[in-house]
Structures are given as structure tokens and as C-alpha cells.
């Protein structure tokens, strides 16, 4: 017999979503184990001996796949949209494996996003204690003042959360606006846009250019490719180093 695993981890390993999303599937009564509906989080199963069904379909582990995708603006990071908008998965319609996005970029934001069915990798990238750094380019209407930059690094209270940047560098002044490169440790929902709103800066464009050591490079909007084994190796090394740093 295989070692028992938590049901939500097995569902994530099957490519049904992040562990947090799979927990919602369980509590919503959409998962059955050996024909019985399971709603209790923490339930453990033996995938080699027990049959798991989600939304009427068998939950089986596909071969691991991790993709790098350049999300265009006006594309959403969900598997389905009631409003009929284009989703990231629509850009992957020829992909045979079931995958899901790791984290999100909001509707108008663009750039690098990781898409995978590797539950362990997704969990590590999304867990706040690992603090895998993410780098963004943002174009705004007017320059950020010195004291505003310092406040961003110290942290700004906003909607019950503290929004801060690890680093921020001013770039070129162009017709597209004033360019900044921003590095985040732990990213909150609409983190950069909320910071800019706080200082009354208008965002013209927001693009994520890297996640840890993985860079967007030459991927065009809407394009994707499979991550190289060497890239996955250095990404897991970065996660491990972030984990060790957090424990110090």
C-alpha cells in the first residue's frame, strides 16, 4: 500500500487546482471517495486503493507538467468565467494535461505566470512563508517621490494588510509613462495597484517579468512553453533557500 495522503493534496496532484481551491471542492460536497461524499478537510486516502471522483469525473494523476506563459491583458486566471471572458486555460486549448495557474495576475495585468499540475510546486510557490521574490515593471503617470519610496519599503497599511516592496528602481521616462521595476516578497491581491492608488498614481501598464529565477524573456503575449528541467531545478532551489531563510 502507498502512504496515505490528504485528500486535498491528491486532488491538487491530479491537476484540479491549488490545495486551497481543492479544499473548497471538498467542503462544497463535490468530491467522493469510494462512492461516498467527503466534506471533512484532513481526510486521508490511499490513491492506489481508493477511487476518488470530483464533479462526477475520476481524479487521476497526470504526468507532471509545468508551463511558463505570458498572460496578455484582459485574460483572467481562472479555469472558467461565467462572463465568457478569455481565460489562461483558453490559451492552452491544445494541451492534453489538466493544469491550473499558480497564483494570479489581475484582469488588466500581464506577464509571466506559471501553469502546472504539480501540487507540491504550486503549494510551495503560493505559501507565504517561502517568500519567492517576484519582479514587475510598472508604468505610471508621474514620478514617485523619495519619501513615498521609503514608505513603500517600510510598508503601507491598506484594507487590514501591510503592503510593502522589497526594492523599487526608477527607469526611463517615456510616452508610456514613468517606468519602475518593483520587487515583491509576499504579494497581496492587487498589491502594486493598491500601492499606486494610495499615492494617487495612475497605472498605465503592469507586467510581471520574473518569478524567483524564472524570467519572462522572449515569450510574446499569449505564448507559452514547457519549463526546462534546469529551470525547475533552480526554481526548487530558490524555494528551498527561501524556506531556510524564513526559519532563521
The pLDDT, as a whole number, for residue 172 is 87
CA dihedral sign, ordered 208, 213, 214, 216: positive
Euclidean distance between CA atoms 91 and 12, whole angstroms:
21
Euclidean distance between CA atoms 228 and 124, whole angstroms:
18
Segment 107-129 mean pLDDT: 88
Euclidean distance between CA atoms 123 and 129, whole angstroms:
11
CA distances from 18 to 11, 14, 36, 116, 228 (A): 8, 10, 23, 10, 22
Q: Which residue has the cell 528541467?
A: 229
Name every residue whose Cβ is closer than 8 Å to that of residue 159 and which is 6 or more positions away in sequence: 194
Going by pLDDT thresholds of 50, 70 and 90, the confidence category of residue 111 is: very high
Mapping DSSP to helix (H, G, I), strand (E, B) and coil, where does residue 76 land? strand
> Is the confidence at residue 130, as pLDDT, over 80?
no
Active-site hit among 13, 62, 106, 167: 106
**What one-character-per-residue DSSP string does 93-111 give?**
TT--S--EESS---TT-EE
Over the stretch 206-226, which tens digit does the pLDDT of each residue have?
A: 999 999 999 999 999 999 999
Instruction: Please choose, from the candidates 25, 57, 47, the residue with its C-alpha nearest in 3D space to the C-alpha of residue 38.
Output: 25
Euclidean distance between CA atoms 126 and 102, whole angstroms:
7
Catalytic, 106? Answer yes
Highest CATH level, class, for 134-211? alpha beta
Higher pLDDT, 99 or 181: 181
Mapping DSSP to helix (H, G, I), strand (E, B) and coil, where does residue 69 land? strand
Q: Taking the domain 5-58, which CATH number applies?
A: 3.10.290.10
Over the stretch 184-196, which tens digit does the pLDDT of each residue have?
A: 988 889 999 999 9
Instruction: Please choose, from the candidates 50, 80, 116, 4, the residue with its C-alpha nearest in 3D space to the C-alpha of residue 31.
Output: 50
The residues spanned by each domain of the chain are 5-58, 66-128+214-247, 134-211
The pLDDT, as a whole number, for residue 247 is 58
Q: If residue 151 lies in a helix (H) or strand (E), which one and from where to where?
A: helix 146-154
Q: If residue 242 lies in a helix (H) or strand (E), which one and from where to where?
A: helix 229-247
Query: pTM for this one?
Result: 0.79
| Topology annotation, domain 66-128+214-247 | Alpha-Beta Plaits (3.30.70)
The pLDDT, as a whole number, for residue 127 is 76
> Is the confidence at residue 2, as pLDDT, over 60?
no
Could you tell me if 155 and 166 are in contact, meaning their C-beta atoms sit under 8 angstroms apart?
no
Amino acid at each position: 500500500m502507498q502512504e496515505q495522503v490528504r485528500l486535498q493534496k491528491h486532488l491538487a496532484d491530479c491537476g484540479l487546482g491549488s490545495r486551497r481551491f481543492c479544499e473548497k471542492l471538498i467542503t462544497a460536497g463535490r468530491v467522493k471517495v469510494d462512492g461516498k461524499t467527503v466534506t471533512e478537510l484532513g481526510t486521508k486516502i490511499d490513491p492506489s486503493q481508493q477511487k476518488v471522483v470530483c464533479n462526477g469525473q475520476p481524479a487521476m494523476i497526470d504526468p507532471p507538467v509545468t508551463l511558463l506563459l505570458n498572460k496578455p491583458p484582459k485574460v483572467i486566471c481562472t479555469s472558467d468565467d461565467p462572463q465568457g471572458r478569455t481565460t489562461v486555460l483558453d490559451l492552452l486549448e491544445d494541451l492534453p494535461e489538466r493544469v491550473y495557474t499558480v497564483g494570479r495576475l489581475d484582469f488588466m495585468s500581464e506577464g509571466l505566470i506559471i501553469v502546472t499540475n504539480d501540487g507540491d510546486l504550486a503549494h510551495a510557490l503560493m505559501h507565504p512563508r517561502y517568500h519567492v521574490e517576484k519582479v514587475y515593471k510598472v508604468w505610471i503617470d508621474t514620478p514617485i517621490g523619495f519619501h513615498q519610496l521609503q514608505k513603500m519599503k517600510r510598508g503601507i497599511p491598506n484594507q487590514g494588510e501591510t503592503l510593502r516592496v522589497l526594492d523599487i528602481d526608477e527607469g526611463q521616462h517615456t510616452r508610456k509613462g514613468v517606468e519602475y521595476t518593483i520587487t515583491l516578497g509576499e504579494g497581496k491581491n492587487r498589491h502594486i495597484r493598491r500601492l499606486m492608488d494610495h499615492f494617487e498614481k495612475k497605472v498605465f501598464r503592469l507586467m510581471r517579468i520574473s518569478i524567483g529565477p524564472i524570467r519572462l524573456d522572449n515569450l510574446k503575449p499569449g505564448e507559452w512553453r514547457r519549463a526546462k528541467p534546469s529551470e525547475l531545478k533552480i526554481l526548487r532551489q530558490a524555494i528551498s533557500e527561501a524556506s531556510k531563510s524564513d526559519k532563521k
